[in-house]
Structure 1
Amino acid sequence: MRQSLLVRLLLFTLLFLLLLMAAVGYVLDAVYRQGQLQDWQQRIQVHSYNLLALVEERDQQLVLPERLQNQRFNNRDSGLFAVVEKAGEVVWRTPSAQTLGRFSSGWSDVGEWQFSRASNGEQEMLIARFGFEWQPLNSAVAPRIYNLVLAETSERLDAVSREFQRQLWQLLVEIVVALMVLQALILRLGLRPLRRMSDELEILQQGQSSQLQNDYPRELQPLITNFNRVLTAEQSQRERYRNTVADVSHSLKTPLTVLKGMLPNVVLPNEQKQEIATQLERMSDTVQYQLQRAMTGSRVSAAQRIAVAPVVESVLSALKKVYADKGIDWHIDCQSSCYFYGDDNDLMEIIGNLTDNASKYCQQQVRVRLLRENSQCCFMVEDDGPGIPVTQYEQVLRRGVRLDSQQPGQGFGLALVKDILDAYQAQLRISRSPLGGACFEVRWEGDRHDSRG
């Protein structure tokens, strides 16, 4: 199934937007997380400076208050902890860290900050370690180096990150939807000239116009110009073809008519006269076949929408008069929803040849059906005559082949029908009819599909 150009463009756009928004979402999320981490580091540094401002000396030892102004340090479930270490040993900790073991290893030199992540088995924690030097009031005592370690559970940061991700992806999805709607509108407007071209081609195929209009966008103008040149050349060639056909018809038919008229006055044995008459008739049929075949090829491009049922009824009405003496039992079932896109002479040739053959070879019954199956139309002609052997199905469609020499004709009818159907890309199928004779089935597309996107 051919896919719409509009659908293809929208699918490519959607794929591009999904990849773009995925990349944008990933980058924005990473930048946001990095910004969150930097904000946390700044906040934790402020906490550390506030704690260091509370440091006092007692008996040449560093001490800090048991209760701090920031209540999160006093609450065990707050998720904010602080510890002072000296040579790997804890010398002070906030009330919130009383039940916590040593949750960070390592050591920072004086003035150095170290940031890391660790887990206490239950929670993920962000850790900041800062090295500082304490000089006791007694100058005789050497300075001492401590590490202030602050930690906070990542639960709050993770919750904020998850909410940001939810809002971010929701916003990106809304942007994709809005851009796709906008792109669809833009493409429909942009493809409008192609839809108009398709409409003009439909009118052209129905024979209501001979050229495409020239008021198309600049990008399509070369295509329109070249297409119109091809149409002009094809029309000129078709006109020359018709003129040549008319000249050939006039040049050949007149001498053949004269010969036919003179033949009865020629003194020859009856057998020779009969042979000459047969050959003259054969020449006349050959000329008519070749002319009809040439005209078929020139008419396909100028297609008209023709209701098939009235044509069938017209042909059958004439055949009933021609074969009235046979007393044919006609079974006719024609649906009015079948249409043929082409030349009415070609349609008449197809229906006339097939129904005439059935009337000619039948014993007493002829069944004609015209029906529609989905987008296809089907024309079937059946008879109760001798039928056609399976091995000769292809042979009867060849030019000049006749299976029954007792019936009049030169064997060009079915060959002409096959040539016409081939020109319209229609199908001809021969089979055995339930009536006992031959069944000819013709199928063609009954709709001109609109392939616009």
Structure 2
Amino acid sequence: MRARRFRGGRSNSLATRLFLSATAWVVVILLITGVVLSSVYRSASERAFDRRLNLYLRTLIAEVATPDEPLDRQFQSLGEPLFDLPLSGWYWEIVRTDPEKKEIRASRSLWDKKLPKLEDQGIELSSSGVRVGYVDGPEGQTLRMVERPVDLGTDGKFRVTVAGDATEIFDETRTFDYYLGGTFAALTIVLVLTTIFQVRFGLAPLKRISDAIADIRSGRAERLEGEFPVEIAPLARETNALIDANREIVERARTHVGNLAHAVKTPLSVIINEANARERDPFAAKVLEQAEVMRNQVVHHLERARIAARLTVVATVTDVAPVIEALRRTMEKIHRDRAIAIAVDASTAAKFRGERQDLEEMAGNLVDNACKWARSRVLIKVSVPPVAGAGPAMLHIVVDDDGSGLSDAERMQASQRGRRLDETKPGSGLGLSIVTDLAALYDGSLTLGSAPIGGLRAELVLPAA
């Protein structure tokens, strides 16, 4: 059985899949890393901002805890001018929460507004006794606020709050994200280029093996040659071992076919000779008739078995022009008594992807058949037409004669095994059948038609190298 051919497209090539997989992983990892780094930087910015707020908070609590200072000196040690700028986004507020005595002190920047309570937003006290969160400020700013309840015993209970404009956090985080995105974009490009280089370099030995196997299949080489990396070397060794085993199997098959042919033909020849010695005996005539049929069948099937066995081995390449020229000389000698003129138009670049013996058999049958039926002329043309698309190149061998030709019905019968349209011509009727079967084994075809010079046209299509 002939090996199946696997055709891989560009989209599903190993290099493409590896590149896409590696690129996808790089992008995913960088995205996850970017998100994590952005989150970490935002948290770090918030912690730094909270430390600043907590510093102001502790200063305010210290001021609340020392009420003996004059009013004009209280809350002057914060050192932040933004607390004095109206609606600047930086605010502090001290609210006395005793039921019997309500009192509110606030920074000048807060003007006549009030800060919301973090407690009302469901934010619980932390382990350090403070509440921290984001709130909407008086002018629609987003504020980062720290709130702490303070119990001074007989001096009262207070809620001390400090808030700062969170735009600083957002701006810093946004700037960091821009730089991080640019850095990661450049890093992605570098990693993708590195991946491309690694994939190309890493798969280069596989490309060499692919090219070498293509050379073996086309007949330009017999084995995988050269040094391969240690990871690929076992594949090369096993491939060479498979080729050797395949050749050994084919050689054994050829030997068995030859032995079978000898074993079967010899008894048949004895039977035919014995039957010929008793020509007038009706039984002998019947034996002779059936023996001839058996011999034709044996020749046909042994020939197919021999061809099929040979086709399992890696194909060779045969120059077509020398084979056709040799056939021309041979046929002119065979049919010299009829003065048949054989003209050849064969491209010297035409090559057959197969063995010379098979080409000689197919072309020889067609040329011999044309010479038998031609009146005076036989034309042989060999060409390899251009291929449209991605199909394989095919070799065309056209044999025309100027004989009487065949009707459509006769052409259909001509390629049938053992079918002879004229019993006066020598032959067993197996020639065109063998050509048809052999061409089919090579994924080729034989077509019969009308020749421009008046007789039969036989067009043989075979794989070109």
Structure 2 Cα separation of the partners of residues 27 and 240 of structure 1: 68
Give the gaps of 5 or more residues in structure 2. Answer: 1-6
Q: 1:354-410 CA distances to partner (integer Å, 9 max, x unpaired)?
A: 5555676789897855313154223264869435459x86x7655434566665543
Alignment of 1:156-235 (within 5 A): 156-202=168-214, 204-205=216-217, 226-235=238-247
The equivalent of 1:83 in structure 2 is 93
Distance in 1 (CA, whole Å) between partners of 2:378 and 2:355 is: 30
Q: Which residue of 1 aligns with 2:131?
A: 114
Are 2:71 and 1:45 equivalent residues in the alignment? Answer: no
Match among 372, 376, 391 for residue 392 of structure 2: 376
Shift of 1:227: 4.7
Aligned CA distance change for structure 1 residues 203 and 249 (closer, same or farther; 3 Å): same
Shift of 1:208: 7.0
Q: Measure, in 2, the Cα distance between the counterparts of 1:352 and 1:27.
A: 78
* CA shift for structure 1 position 258: 9.1
Q: Which residue number corresponds to residue 3 of structure 2?
A: none
Residue 386 (structure 1) aligned to one of 396, 406, 417: 406
Find 1:299's aligned residue among 296, 301, 310.
Answer: 310
SS for the counterpart of 1:16 is: helix
Cα gap change, 1:420/1:19 in structure 2, threshold over 3 Å: closer, same or farther? Answer: farther
CA contact (8 A) 1:82 1:93 kept: yes
The one-letter code of the counterpart of 2:392 is Q
1:19 partner letter: V
Q: Find the counterpart in structure 2 of residue 349 from structure 1.
A: 361
Aligned match of 1:450: none
Deviates more, 1:51-60 or 1:30-39: 51-60
CA 1:355–1:129 in structure 2 vs 1: closer, same or farther (change >3 Å)? farther
- CA 1:310–1:102 in structure 2 vs 1: closer, same or farther (change >3 Å)? farther
CA distance in 1, matches of 2:448, 2:85: 96
Q: Distance in 1 between matches of 2:275 and 2:461?
A: 41
Distance 1:367 1:87, change over 3 A: farther
CA contact (8 A) 1:193 1:216 kept: yes
**How far apart, CA to CA, are the structure 2 residues paired with 1:431 and 1:101?**
104
Q: Deviation at 1:345?
A: 1.9
Question: Residue 292 of structure 1 aligns to which amino acid in structure 2?
Answer: E
**Which runs of structure 2 are paired with 1:100-139 in the superposition (5 Å)?**
100-106=113-119, 112-120=129-137, 122-133=140-151
Pairs within 5 Å for 1:3-14: 3-14=12-23
Partner residue in 2 for 1:139: none
1:94 is aligned to 2:102 = no
> How big is each residue's C-alpha offset from its partner over 1:397-436, in whole Å with a ceiling of 9 and x where there is no partner?
5543456666554343343334434443x24275867969
Question: Match for 2:461 among 434, 439, 442?
Answer: 442
Give, in whole Å, the separation in 2 of the partners of 1:176 and 1:243.
Answer: 62
The structural deviation recorded for 1:114 is: 0.6
Deviation of 1:40 after TM superposition, in Å, equals 1.5
Does structure 1 residue 340 correspond to structure 2 residue 340? Answer: no
SS at match of 1:116: strand
C-alpha separation in 2, matches of 1:226 and 1:260 = 50
| 8 A Cα contact 2:42 2:173, kept in partner | yes
The 10-residue stretch of structure 1 (231-240 or 364-373) with the greater mean CA deviation from structure 2: 364-373
Over the matched positions of the two proteins, sequence identity in percent amounts to 23
| Cα displacement string for residues 174-212 of structure 1 (whole angstroms, at most 9, x for unaligned residues) | 444434444444444444443444455445446676655
| 1:153 paired residue number | 165
CA contact (8 A) 1:86 1:145 kept: yes
Conserved 8 A contact 2:133-2:146? yes
Quick check: 1:358–1:366 contact (8 Å CA) kept in 2?
no
The one-letter amino acid of 1:386's match is: L
Q: CA RMSD in A?
A: 5.0
Amino acid across the alignment from 2:109? S
Whether the 8 Å CA contact 1:382–1:433 is kept in 2: the answer is no
Residues 338 and 31 from structure 1, CA distance in 2 versus in 1: closer, same or farther, beyond 3 angstroms? farther
**Which of residues 52, 74, 83 in structure 2 aligns to 1:73?**
83
Distance 1:8 1:402, change over 3 A: farther
What one-letter code is carried by the residue in structure 1 that aligns with 2:304? Answer: R
The answer as to whether partners of 2:217 and 2:314 remain within 8 angstroms in 1 is yes
* Cα deviation digits, residues 123-176 of structure 1 (max 9, x gap): 3322221223457xxxxxx32222222222332222222222233333334444
Letter in 2 for 1:376: P
- Residues 310 and 242 (structure 1), Cα distance of their counterparts in 2 relative to 1, 3 Å cut: same
Q: Retained in 2: the 8 A contact 1:402–1:410?
A: yes
- The separation in 2 between residues aligned to 1:76 and 1:307, in whole angstroms, is 98
Q: Deviations over 1:309-335 (max 9, x none)?
A: 554566567668878969899896x66
Q: Distance in 2 between matches of 1:386 and 1:77?
A: 108
Contact 1:330 1:366 in 2 (8 A): yes
Structure 1 portions without partners, runs of 5+: 136-141, 448-453
Aligned length: 435
Q: Secondary structure at the match of 1:151?
A: strand
Bigger Cα displacement from structure 2, 211-220 vs 41-50: 211-220
Structure-2 separation of matches of 1:283 and 1:43: 109
Distance 2:84 2:143 in 1: 18
Partner of 1:420: 438
In 2: Cα distance, 1:62 partner to 1:133 partner? 24
**Aligned equivalents of 1:21, 1:415: Cα separation in 2:** 67
Question: Which AA in structure 2 matches 1:294?
Answer: A
Alignment check: 8 A CA contact 2:118 2:133 kept: no
1:131–1:147 CA contact under 8 A, matched in 2: yes
8 Å contact kept, 2:343–2:380: yes
Question: Closer, same or farther in 2 for the Cα pair 1:68/1:211, shift >3 Å?
Answer: closer
1:258 and 1:109 mapped to 2: Cα distance?
115
Distance 1:211 1:84 in 2: 91
Q: 2:252 aligns with which of 221, 240, 258?
A: 240
User: Aligned partners of 1:407, 1:192: CA distance in 2, in Å?
Assistant: 60
C-alpha change, 1:180 and 1:431, in structure 2 (3 Å) is: farther
Q: For the Cα contact (< 8 Å) 1:387–1:438, is it kept in 2?
A: no
Question: In 2 relative to 1, CA 67–38 (structure 1 residues): closer, same or farther, beyond 3 Å?
Answer: closer
